[in-house]
Structure 1
């Protein structure tokens, strides 16, 4: 990938601090990671709904939705997965700069990619939420029939079957989605956001 050299950063007249002050809350990226079927999207959208009801400026970046537009040119090779997460990290950073709380629901299987995304943000702005669910349970749920297709050979490079998932070593929050409800998970995250003075 070539990097443009004839560009100059243009400082904005309205700052992140200005937007946060107007919003009456801080901004951050709540980065959900976990296997397909672990419950990332369900929890992310429920959190979004709860924050919206609280009057918080928020947005959800969902893996499947992003691949319909911004990342529709990417496949599922290791290289494409890395580029997928790189782009999402940059987009999430823009949302945080806008003063919003952005939630991202992506498998994001590689630690190095998640760490690269984390490094885009100021201290405390990147909140990694590991939605920890055993492969067997995710495969039992299989809401999109992806595991069945992967097992039959219809899908290649599928995380957890053909491609590894590297669990976070020190996430800010771990949700054991096999044992808690979506609402309980949302409550835990909101409690964390309040404890960190983001809300």
Structure 2
């Protein structure tokens, strides 16, 4: 307790609003959630590419990539998954404070964890995108061979097989990747960002 009292928030000289004005767009976190194989990373990176071509300051935080560095010490138990998402929420907040649009591609299976991240942001700066896809389609894609390993028992605590996925109850967007192309999906997100005057 005593040590925490010695940690004081240092106010930045350049504010988030200053950075947004310089960038000529607002900043936000676009939180892609969905089953493995639903298309989260593909969609986040396609959106990032689209924003980049429009000179929009953006970045992608990808679940697997983050586990190679920042979160490499975490496993896949419920406690570790919770900490994984907590850390990403805090990092995402830093990106938003820096004036960027940050896209995060994480299964983030538990509603409570996603809600805790949402509460880090002002109302219009967190956009939950449910990348919805039937598990049968996700499993048929199985780009990393994870479902096969989960079904054979090589992977325990695998979302959708041996660990639950709690669907979002009220996401800002639902993208059904078994029905839409990546290009069509990106267009929907761009349209939403324009409606919300982020772009």
TM-score range normalised by the length of the shorter chain:
over 0.9
- The whole-number CA distance in structure 1 between the counterparts of 2:52 and 2:162 is 38
> What are the residue-to-residue correspondences of 1:1-199 with 2, within 5 Å?
4-199=4-199
Following superposition, the deviation at residue 173 of structure 1 comes to 0.3
In structure 2, runs of 5+ residues without a counterpart are none
> What are the Cα deviations for residues 97-119 of structure 1, in whole angstroms up to 9, with x where unaligned?
00000000000000000000000
Task: Tell me the alpha carbon deviations over residues 119-145 of structure 1, each in whole angstroms, 9 at most, x when there is no partner.
Answer: 000110000000000111101110100
Normalized against structure 2, the TM-score is what?
Answer: 0.98
* Post-superposition offset of 1:6: 2.4
The TM-score with structure 1 as length reference comes to 0.98
Q: CA RMSD in A?
A: 0.8
Classify the secondary structure of the residue corresponding to 2:123.
coil
Tell me whether 109-118 or 5-14 shows the greater mean CA deviation.
Answer: 5-14
Flag as ranges the 4+ runs of structure 1 deviating above 4 A: none
In structure 1, the residue corresponding to 2:61 is in which secondary structure?
Answer: strand
